[in-house]
Structure 1
Amino acid sequence: MTEGRLLSIIELGEVRDEASSTPTVRRPRAAGRPLRSVAVLVLALVLLAAATPVPQQVVSVVPAVRTSTAYLGGDSVFVVDPPAPEGERYLTAYAQPSRTGAGVHRRWQAPLARLGDYLDVRVEQGLVLAMAVNDDGVFETTAYDSATGQRRWQHPGGPQPIAQGGLLLTENRGDREGAMGRVDPGTGRVLWSMSIPAPSNPAYHRRDGQIDQFVLLQPTGEVQVYDAGTGRLLRGIDTLPGDRAAYQRVWVVDDLLLLVPPGSTRLIAYRLAYLQPLWTAEVPLISFVFACADLLCAVPQTGGLQVLDPATGVVRWSDSGPNNLADVRHGQLLMARPGRGYEVWDAATGRVRTELGPWALMQVLGPDAPLVGTRSGDDGRMVVAELDLVAHRARIVDVLPAIAGSCQASLPMLLCQRLDGTTALWRLTR
């Protein structure tokens, strides 16, 4: 992305970066200086401006019909044709354009089942993984060679990378018994598999972003921890003595296992490695729990936020809502305030760092990808900005015309559908 003049977003609108605080010392004009020197200076500035390259938008049209779906993944754009009761249907891979703007070109094309709804296409471990709900309502993953498009394998379930290598496929079926197993990505061979009880909602422990253990909650009240590489049961604990059929909720956050007993307002923390009880906290009506920098964020069903010390369960600070937490980055929280847009809060204290204003968050690739926001400009064009929670600012990266929506970002690349129905790929310039 070419470095350009940066803009900051405040409540009053767009302003340029502040100038240097160093005072400017103005020299007295020499007496009798000819006016032609001014003309020479102006001419020189005009010539210099003409010689300076102006950042240009590099935009490429992606061959796709209006009803198809396009996905950014790796260095490619993948287009899934709409369902076709008759005729052929394809998954097509296009290479993203180079910095010189040569345009997209087709890499390969692979046939798809005529029916079925595709929910995502992404690149993982040298494969292109297409995830869909088939005609029978079964969620399944189909793997293609990323270089040639050759189909490698197809299995039920959604894929996640595991620390021991390969993919963990989990088939959640809501109130019915599900299944999960480890698949070798190169061959599609199932290394182990097991059924999971209903409701089939495993919790996962990750190491460096990859799953190494998972937790199952049995209907009997036993919490079981499994090794993701082998599927072997590591340890378990009975959490429902005397009540063998009640529903509990469980989460894994870092090295803690967090559980809400049936009908309770208590959040109980266990050390995952030994399943030792550590603390109990009163947090009513919890919807879900996750890591907030070095703390725990518990989101009540009524909105707002409770931020707890993971070592003791003590509430550090809370917000009664109706604010909603949108993202967490580097110890900063992106909070959506109804009617006011987004604010950046400090996770440790709840202090408001800055107001970013009214943006719509765009879909980005991966949890570490830069956050991208959009909004409509005064002239109907779409303003695109990187929402930098660390620097506490929204940095405008481009302004695009005639955008309908369905945008995805992996800066500096941006994929959107335009008002005329075409799908376009931009290399953002600022």
Structure 2
Amino acid sequence: MSIIELGEVRDEPASTPAARRPRSGGRPLRSAAVLVLALVVLSAAAPQPQRAVSVVPASRTSTAYLGGDSVFVVDPPAPEGDRFLTAYAQPSPTGGGVRRRWQAPLARLGDYLDVRVERGLVLAMTVDAPGRVFRTIAFDIGSGERRWQLPGAPQPTADDGLLLTDVRDNGSGALNRVEPHTGRVLWSVPIPSAANPSYHLREGRVDGFVLLLATGEVQVYDAATGRMLRSVDTLPGDREAYQRVQVVDDLLLVVPPGSTRLVGYALTELKPLWTAEVPLISYVVGCAGLLCAVPQTGGLQVLDPATGVVRWSDSGPDNLADVRHGQLLMAKPGRGYEVWDAATGQVRTGLGGWALMQVAGPGGPLVGTRSGDDGRRVVAELDLVARRTRIVDVLPGIAGSCQASLPMLLCQRLDGTTALWRLTR
């Protein structure tokens, strides 16, 4: 133990002259030094926060998914032998490894595209060749017992239901409403050939869908009942022309034949509101109360949804990567990302070069990685509102192929193992 001399205090005699010595300026500094030293010693003695890392039992060719409070591992196709879907509990904040909850057998062949948690079920979506037929298998989230297996890709609805969209390789099929826990089909709407449905979302869940028929008729359906609410003829003069339709917020957007215009309809009345000259539109997304139309040739055109008037446009090579809270994340080829103001197109800041991770679940934070020192990977949250990147951690031995649901991070490592991190920064 080291001792710091603070000096000696004595009583002075009564006959001490009235004149006082000047106060020593060093004594408060010495006291401050004692405090700093004490804090340093206590800090060194206290346990430092560390990231928790757990190895997930998965082969090099398995696929792992984050979902709810679990990690799901799908074995690769197996022409011979057994194949499983295995559920592991994520470790607690206090530490510990992953714990196997259950294991369910799978068909030996077929590619699994997604595993997610919905309505107290684990939904695994697979696609079978030939024909590219999508199929959803539902497992009990607690026991892994298989509840049902039906054709189609799952879409949760705003009233706690489930839609399965079954579109075959010829473009026809059906849209089925099922009871989530039993798989019982409640109603079915046929999908004519080449009439791929578009969905109206409320808080990320479907409450209506739209079918565009080859005749030009657009039909709007209620997702709770399957009842057709209204329809409109968009091709009164030409029944053979190809066109496209998309739902954005409360607008029905139609790209007429020739792809040189964009026509906006009010979804509730199906009345045409405006026509905008925006050629070769690839797709449209809502962006901070406006419409961001992405041309096939690149760039961006931002429209007023009430009038169709172009507010601003950019003809450069930059690509729209994400929209958050009135800000656009723009990918600049070879130069990383920038944050643009959605209302004006003004460049707010540059965020540098990142590889965006797959985010588990809607609305999760944007997470990116890039190469750091000594082969490590820097992990950062891209905050568009604060217009900055926040370094979350620096991880060794990451091969890529990561999923994020902060504070959890699931990645495959260079040695072929799969690991789950609970990040602490």
| TM superposition score normalised by structure 2 | 0.91
Q: Distance in 2 between matches of 1:410 and 1:32?
A: 52
> Given the superposition, is the C-alpha separation of residues 334 and 174 from structure 1 closer, same or farther in structure 2, using an over 3 Å criterion?
farther
SS of the equivalent of 1:191 reads strand
Specify the alignment match of 1:98 in structure 2: 92
Specify whether residues 134 and 43 from structure 1 end up closer, same or farther in structure 2 by C-alpha distance, changes over 3 A only.
same
Aligned with 2:272: secondary structure? Answer: strand
Picking from 178, 192, 200, the partner of 2:187 is 192
Q: Which amino acid is 2:288 matched to?
A: A
In structure 2, the residue matched to 1:300 is: 295
Distance verdict in 2 for CA 1:191–1:36, change over 3 Å: closer
SS in 2 for 1:176: coil
C-alpha distance in 1 between matches for 2:167 and 2:68? 27
1:318 corresponds to: 313
Q: Percent identity?
A: 79
- Does structure 2 retain, via aligned residues, the 8 Å contact 1:266–1:283? yes
Q: Select 1:134's aligned residue among 110, 121, 128.
A: 128
Q: 1:108 aligns with which of 95, 102, 105?
A: 102
Inter-CA distance 43–232: structure 2 relative to 1 (3 Å threshold): closer
Among 366, 371, 379, the residue aligned to 2:374: 379
The alignment partner of 2:172 has SS state of strand
Q: Which moved more, 1:187-196 or 1:167-176?
A: 167-176
Question: Would you say the 8 A contact 1:115–1:135 is kept in 2?
Answer: no
Q: Distance in 2 between matches of 1:410 and 1:147?
A: 21
1:410 aligned to 2:392?
no
Q: Does 1:51 align with 2:51?
A: no
Equivalent residue, structure 2, for 1:232: 227
Unaligned runs of 5+ in 2: 1-21
Report if the CA contact (8 A) 2:359-2:403 is conserved: yes
The number of equivalent residue pairs is 403
Distance 1:46 1:205 in 2: 57
CA contact (8 A) 1:97 1:104 kept: yes
Residue 163 of structure 1: which of 158, 165, 176 is its match? Answer: 158
How far apart, CA to CA, are the structure 1 residues paired with 2:33 and 2:288? 58
Q: Shift of residue 175 of structure 1?
A: 3.9
Distance 1:378 1:261 in 2: 52
Q: Tell me which amino acid in the other structure corresponds to 1:413.
A: M
Q: 1:132 is aligned with what amino acid?
A: T
Distance 1:242 1:32, change over 3 A: closer
Q: Deviations over 1:303-327 (max 9, x none)?
A: 1100000000010111112000000
CA drift at 1:35: 11
Greater relative contact order (Cα < 8 A, sep 6+)? 1
Q: Where in structure 2 are the equivalents of 1:10-409 lying within 5 Å?
A: 30=24, 43-136=37-130, 137-409=132-404
Gapped regions of structure 1 (runs ≥ 5): 1-27
**Alpha-carbon separation, structure 1, partners of 2:316 and 2:216:** 33
Secondary structure, counterpart of 1:246 in structure 2: coil
CA contact (8 A) 1:371 1:387 kept: yes
Q: Which moved more, 1:407-416 or 1:173-182?
A: 173-182
- For residues 194-253 of structure 1, the C-alpha deviation after alignment (integer angstroms, 9 at most, x for no partner) is 221222421111123221111101111111111111211111111111211211110111
Moved over 2 A (4+): 28-46, 134-137, 172-176
Q: How does 1:410-429 map onto structure 2 within 5 Å?
A: 410-429=405-424
Change (3 A) 1:184 1:29: farther
Q: For residue 102 of structure 1, what is the amino acid of its counterpart?
A: G
The root-mean-square deviation of aligned C-alpha atoms, in Å, is 1.9
- Measured in 2, the distance between the counterparts of 1:241 and 1:33 equals 93
Equivalent pair of 2:407/2:423 in contact (CA under 8 Å): yes
Distance 1:196 1:29, change over 3 A: farther
Contact 1:162 1:228 in 2 (8 A): yes
- SS in structure 1 of the partner of residue 374 of structure 2: coil
